[in-house]
Amino acid sequence: MSTRRLLAWTAVFVSVGLAILGMIVFVLGVVIEFANTRSEPVTDMISPIAQLSLAGLCLSAMMMIFGFVLVGILLARQSIQYGAGYGEAYRLIENFQFPQAIQLLERVLDGGKVTPDVLMLLTSAYAYDGQLAKAQTTADRAVRMFPDNAGAYVTLANGYRMQASYGEAAIALQTALQLSPDQPIIWAELGFVQQLAGEHDSAIESFKQAALYSMPSMYSVRVNYHLSRYYRKVGDKTNAENATERMLATQHGLQAWRSALRALDGTTYGSALNYEIQKIEDTISMTKMTKESSS
């Protein structure tokens, strides 16, 4: 995320916080004013508490309007950046309508809206549709056009991974991390492909790096599954238990991978991912049974 976009979203959250604060001040002022009017005679003057209450209401209204306007501007800029068909193409991919998504994204690119995100989505659509050569060409184009963008190398890694070229995918992700070293998802993805490539020690180090940050549930559950197994293997009971608890807390993240498996049916990577997800689900079931029997 760019510094400008980060500042914009920070302003949105600050405005929401101030709006909530203003509403709290308004409600408290109304309650206090109501209590005072029951014990004191009513006058024509507006009391300081009532004035403060009204000021809180005005602050809340102004910040709500400001927040809505700022969110609208951000969404409009995103729509312009990605192209009108980007969101629709994403929904088509979620519904496994890959040819239609490809047509939309190709039109977006033909319209001049060439970004790493659009190229990444088109690479995935090509790969899911079985057009691996086009997926690779699109991924290469992303790196060629955006050599300093970490997302371009993630796109390249996705193309390699779909072809079960895990070593090449790992190299691409390592390049992405050189450009953006504080991205836990990239660390997690690197660990996944290293694990598939048989580089288990390197994978564990990548998972440890990913675990230093907050991650979406779909990544956290897999990362902590591998870490819990590793820590148990080396006899580190405390870290093994902590990783297991994090795995259990984010187990709902497996649903996202289960949904993705439908598009990967029949591929080498899909088979490997399905095997891993099944192992994680079995581990979670056994862990729950052990906890229930010991309680």
Three-state secondary-structure class, residue 173: helix
Average pLDDT over residues 148-168: 89
Torsion of CA 88, 93, 99, 102, to 10 degrees: 60
Is the C-alpha dihedral spanning 143, 147, 149, 153 positive or negative?
Answer: positive
In a domain, 261, yes or no: no
In a domain, 63, yes or no: yes
In a domain, 15, yes or no: yes
Average pLDDT over residues 74-101: 68
The rounded distance, in Å, linking the Cα atoms of 267 and 12 is 43
Residue 76 has what pLDDT?
Answer: 59
In a domain, 24, yes or no: yes
pTM metric for this prediction: 0.68
Among 109, 112, 110, 111, residue whose Cα is nearest residue 122: 109
Range of the domain at 9: 3-39+47-80
CB neighbour list of residue 14: distance below 8 Å, 6 or more residues apart: none
Average pLDDT over residues 237-245: 95
Average pLDDT, the chain: 84
Burial of 272 (0-12, 13-18, 19+ CB in 10 A): middle
Distances from the Cα of 186 to the Cα of 29, 33, 150, 179, 223, angstroms: 49, 55, 9, 11, 12
Is 90 within 8 Å of 121 (Cβ atoms)? Answer: yes
In a domain, 214, yes or no: no
Average pLDDT over residues 244-262: 90
In a domain, 160, yes or no: no
Average pLDDT over residues 104-130: 82
Give the tens place of pLDDT for each residue, 185-225.
Answer: 999 999 999 999 999 999 999 999 999 999 999 999 999 99
Among 155, 154, 169, 236, residue whose Cα is nearest residue 199: 169
**Structural tokens at position 293:** 């029997």
Number of domains in the chain: 1
In a domain, 9, yes or no: yes
In a domain, 27, yes or no: yes
